[in-house]
Amino acid sequence: MNKLTEKQKEVLREMVNCTCQVCEKTQLQTGKLQPHRIKRGNAGGLYVPNNILMVCEKCHKRLHSREFR
């Protein structure tokens, strides 16, 4: 799967109780959670539940900054 629909993202947010899987803040505190692929897309990682972390924007940026160092 190349991209997630908004409905699929909403289902994933609900699966994690609308809580960032990194900092554990709720999306009420941080804004909508975003999907982050554990295995990057350019390495063949897909948008499937076992390859996705639902994270806040701040944690998403941190994850990417560590990945590309």
Residue 24 lies in a domain: yes
Domains in the chain: how many in total?
Answer: 1
Residue 16 lies in a domain: yes
The residue segments making up the domain with residue 37 are: 6-67
Residue 27 lies in a domain: yes
Residue 58 lies in a domain: yes
Q: Please, which residues have CB within 8 angstroms of residue 26's CB and are 6 or more apart in sequence?
A: 17, 18, 19, 20
34: β partners = 55
26: β partners = 19
Give the pLDDT confidence score for residue 3 in this predicted structure.
86
Residue 1 lies in a domain: no
**Confidence grade of residue 1 (pLDDT, cut at 50, 70, 90):** low
**Confidence grade of residue 67 (pLDDT, cut at 50, 70, 90):** low
- pTM of this prediction? 0.87
Residue 51 lies in a domain: yes
pLDDT of 13-63, one tens digit each? 999 999 999 999 999 999 999 999 999 888 999 999 899 999 999 999 999
